[in-house]
Amino acid sequence: MPQRTDLETLCSSAFRQIALLRFGGEPALALPASCPVTLDQLLTASVDHLEAAFSSTSAC
């Protein structure tokens, strides 16, 4: 199944949905241009590692 999982497409879709969210009238945080983790990392990494990976990427 991992061979057929298009993580970039999934991330792109999720990023578009997240971009529409606003909290207290503030715009959403800047999102990375591409998915900053691999499927293996997404499935096995700790939450702390994933949060660090997503927060340290460059914005679109």
pLDDT tier, 46 (very low <50, low <70, confident <90, very high otherwise): very high
Burial code (b: 16+ CB inside 10 Å, e: under 16) for 30-55 equals: ebbeebbbeeeebeeeeeeeeeebee
The pLDDT value recorded for residue 44 is 92
Question: Tell me: the pLDDT tens digits for 8-29?
Answer: 888 888 877 776 776 666 766 6
How is residue 54 written in tokens? Answer: 């997503």
Question: What is the arithmetic mean of pLDDT over 32-59?
Answer: 83
More confident residue, 60 or 22: 22
60, pLDDT greater than 70:
no
